[in-house]
Amino acid sequence: QVQLVESGGGLVQAGGSLRLSCAASGRTFGRYSMGWFRQAPGKEREFVAGIDWSGGTTHYADSVKGRFTISRDSTKNTVYLQMNSLKPEDTAVYYCAAKISRIGVGPLEYDYWGQGTQVTVSS
């Protein structure tokens, strides 16, 4: 069982930066690949970034490549999403999620979810 708690969301102006954190409980955190997803009002939940269990492989949605960076610190059981050059279209609730084995891009592939943190980017 893995419990996930996101933090770090907030209101930022376009061009600004935020760093999201996802703290995981459970001794088997190191076995899980982690993903960040987001969901804007009226839209489906979409993949943003993922990192495998070792931290050696990452994958990004085209819309955030070059602007967002996912990382993990297994000593702290925490995954991060550094978001730079934010745009109004990045406004959404951001969720972290965990799954066994490889990174996945579909929400249904993930077994555990956090409660989400709101990111709002003003123009």
The pLDDT tens digits of the residues spanning 95-122 come to 999 999 899 999 999 999 999 999 999 9
| Residue pLDDT, tens place only, 14-40 | 999 999 999 999 767 788 999 999 999
For 62-70, what is the mean pLDDT? 98
pLDDT band at residue 54 under the 50/70/90 scheme: confident
**Closest by CA position to 24, among listed 118, 105, 99:** 99
Which conformational region is residue 76 in: left (phi greater than 0), alpha (psi within -120 to 50 degrees), or beta? alpha
